[in-house]
Amino acid sequence: MIQSRGVSPRTGSARAGSDAHCCRPDRCGGESMVTRLSQAKERLIHGGLFLCAVISVFTTAGIIWILATESLDFFAEVSPLNFLFGTRWAPLLEPRSYGILPLVCGTFLVAGGALLLAVPVGVGSALFLSEYAPPWFRTAVKPVLEILAGIPTIVYGFFALMFITPVVIKPLFPDANTFNAASAAVVVGVMIIPTIASLCDDAFQAVPRTLREAAYALSATRLEVSLRVVLPAGLSGVTAAVLLAFARAIGETMAVTLAAGLTPKLTINPLESIQTMTAYIVQVSLGDTPAGTIEYQTIFAVGLVLFLITLTINLVAQRVLARFRSAYE
């Protein structure tokens, strides 16, 4: 019997069996089915993520569109110069006046006072958790600190009205009004402490350990390392945290409405009743003002100004991060 050169019957048989095994229809079909299912899942996940991004973009665009169109109708009746630079805000009472400066002043008075309380406490807490606290204490305390961010803001408003003003402010300043900017600033400051503390702690944790070790090698104390090494190295993160907390304070609504009152007044006295931009929007949105009137359209003009202020603060925060971010090897 003549055989092919170099191929034995046994080898040829084994190879043929192997080829038949690899080309089994059930296995090849199963592998292709798994591949198709995997590709379908990937396309589904990609489509879902794309849909989420599109919804976010269209939601933001819709908000801007509503604010812009309604504000244009308002500015067709009211001069933008009188609106931006007027010193009297009385759109619901005769004689009507549409100067937004009292609302802007009240908003910045509360937000600025909140930063005076929140920045030292928040940065100090972050430095303590980053440089002084043992790991077990940090693990236990940081979640408790962040619980403050989960308390409803209206609870803070009642806390200011029932405790801060009568127990803290009135004994020190008997002439203070029941509704005042100081109590609103205190509770808003407490509300934004977790934001500043958490972001600053992350910034301090990102500082390389080698910088600390180099400072300790030069006989620096822990306080000197914290204030002269860690804090300057994380300054960009601290600045961004303060700006973001400032934007958060400007946009606060219910706590400020309950604590500061509804009296638009151009003043820098924190013991007087004032009104913020968000508080005015709440006042008009209660339903007593007819829709479509000039008084109703004021909430969109005020909302547009508030949107532009918070957008500017966020852009500045991003610019600060991009400009002062330090890269460590």
Which CATH number is 269's domain given? 1.10.3720.10
User: Using CA atoms, how far apart are residues 12 and 35, in angstroms rounded to an integer?
Assistant: 32
Amino acid, single-letter form, for residue 179: F
59 and 19, same domain (yes or no) = yes
Q: What is the pLDDT of residue 219?
A: 86
131 and 65, same domain (yes or no) = no
DSSP designation for 289: S
Distance of CA 122 to the CA centre of its chain: 15
Which of 75, 94, 118 is the last residue in one of the domains? 75
Q: What is the pLDDT of residue 24?
A: 53
Q: What is the pLDDT of residue 34?
A: 74
Query: What is the chain's pLDDT, residue by residue, as a tens digit (329 residues)?
Result: 444 444 444 444 444 444 444 445 555 555 677 787 888 888 889 888 999 999 989 998 999 999 999 899 899 888 889 999 988 898 887 788 899 999 999 999 999 999 999 999 999 999 998 888 888 888 888 788 778 778 888 899 999 989 999 999 999 998 888 899 999 999 999 999 998 998 898 889 888 888 888 998 988 888 899 889 998 888 888 988 898 899 899 988 888 989 998 888 888 999 999 999 999 998 888 777 777 788 888 999 999 999 999 989 888 888 777 766 544 44
55 and 166, same domain (yes or no) = no
63 and 88, same domain (yes or no) = no
Q: What is the pLDDT of residue 113?
A: 93
109 and 62, same domain (yes or no) = no
Any domain includes 279: yes
281 and 300, same domain (yes or no) = yes
The reported pTM is 0.80
Q: Domain of 34?
A: 12-75
Which of 75, 93, 111 is the last residue in one of the domains? 75
Q: What is the pLDDT of residue 16?
A: 45
Positions of E strands within 105-184: none
Decide: 273 and 177 in contact? Cβ < 8 Å: yes
Tally of structural domains, the chain: 2
Any domain includes 329: no
Decide: 195 and 241 in contact? Cβ < 8 Å: yes
Q: Residue 313's closest CA among 106, 57, 111, 62?
A: 111
274 and 185, same domain (yes or no) = yes
Which of 55, 75, 95 is the last residue in one of the domains? 75
